[in-house]
């Protein structure tokens, strides 16, 4: 009974890995130029969002400083 469960488990893992391999063949990978442009977009976006959060944090800190005093 235990061996039947193990065989089922091993078959499931094998089937899963075969499906992963099949799906990975369907993926369209970006070339170097696309990858570079995507990376630049992500870095610029991160800096913009970080700047907005920094401005809002400073504003709220100033407002709370005036309220608490």
Residues with Cβ < 8 Å from 57, sequence gap 6 or more?
none
Domain limits at 60? 2-68
Rounded to 10 degrees, the C-alpha dihedral 36/37/38/42 comes to 100
Please state the domain count of the chain.
Answer: 1
pTM above 0.85, yes or no: no
pLDDT per position as a tens digit, 8-53: 888 999 999 999 999 999 999 999 999 999 999 999 999 999 999 9
Displacement of CA 64 from its chain's centroid (Å): 34
């Amino acid at each position: 009974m235990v061996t039947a469960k193990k065989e089922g488990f091993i078959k499931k893992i094998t089937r899963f890995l075969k499906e992963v391999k099949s799906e990975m063949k369907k993926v369209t990978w970006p070339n170097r130029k696309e990858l570079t442009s995507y990376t630049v977009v992500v870095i610029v976006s991160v800096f913009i969002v970080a700047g907005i959060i920094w401005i809002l944090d400073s504003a709220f800190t100033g407002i709370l400083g005036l309220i608490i005093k």
